[in-house]
Amino acid sequence: MSTILDDEHTNGREKDNIQHTHYDICKSNIYQYKEHSSSNFDTSCHSCNQHSVIKSEASFRRPVTAAIDITTVPYYGDVDGMPMVSGLDQENRAFKFATLSIVGLNIPLVLAVEPVQESSAWDDNAPNQVYRVVRRLVRRAKKHVSIETVLCDREFDSMRVFQTLSNPGVNYLIPKRITNSEQNVLDHLEEDDQEVAVESASVHVETGSNPMRFLYVPSTKGEGMAVFATNMQVGPDEAEAFCHRYSRRWQIENEYKSIKGDFLVKTSSKDYRIRLFYFVFAVLLYNIWRLTDFLLKAGIDGEMDYAPVLTAASLSSIEWFSSSTTSDFGRTPGVEKSRSWASLTTK
Written as tens digits, the pLDDT of the chain (347 aa) is 333 333 433 344 443 443 333 334 344 444 454 445 555 566 555 555 555 555 555 555 678 899 999 999 999 989 888 989 998 887 899 999 999 999 977 678 999 999 999 888 888 888 878 999 999 999 999 988 899 999 999 999 999 999 999 999 999 999 999 999 999 999 999 999 999 999 999 988 887 789 999 999 999 887 789 999 999 999 999 999 999 999 989 899 999 999 999 999 899 899 999 999 999 999 999 998 988 888 887 777 656 566 777 778 777 665 444 444 444 444 434 444 333 445 444 55
Report d(CA 267, CA 334) in Å as an integer: 9
Report d(CA 112, CA 110) in Å as an integer: 6
Which pLDDT value is given to residue 197? 95
Is 115 in contact with 73 (CB distance < 8 Å)?
no
Query: What backbone phi and psi angles, to 5 degrees, belong to 14?
Result: -65, -40
Per-domain residue ranges of the chain: 32-316
Which pLDDT value is given to residue 54? 57
Which pLDDT value is given to residue 39? 58
Question: How much helix, strand and coil, in percent to the nearest 5, is found in the chain?
Answer: 50, 20, 30
Beta-bridged to residue 74, according to DSSP, are: 94
State whether residue 69 is helix, strand or coil.
strand
User: Among residues 113, 201, 118, 217, which one has the least CA distance to residue 163?
Assistant: 201
Beta-bridged to residue 204, according to DSSP, are: 209
The DSSP line for 275-324 is HHHHHHHHHHHHHHHHHHHHHHHHHHT----SS-SS-HHHHHT-HHHHHH
Which pLDDT value is given to residue 322? 44
Report d(CA 127, CA 310) in Å as an integer: 42
Architecture of domain 32-316: Alpha-Beta Complex (3.90)
Which pLDDT value is given to residue 90? 77
Residue 74 parent element (H or E): strand 64-75
State whether residue 137 is helix, strand or coil.
helix
Beta-bridged to residue 171, according to DSSP, are: 149
Report d(CA 133, CA 222) in Å as an integer: 33
Is 93 in contact with 87 (CB distance < 8 Å)?
yes
State whether residue 6 is helix, strand or coil.
helix
User: Among residues 231, 215, 255, which one has the least CA distance to residue 149?
Assistant: 231
Is 289 in contact with 283 (CB distance < 8 Å)?
no
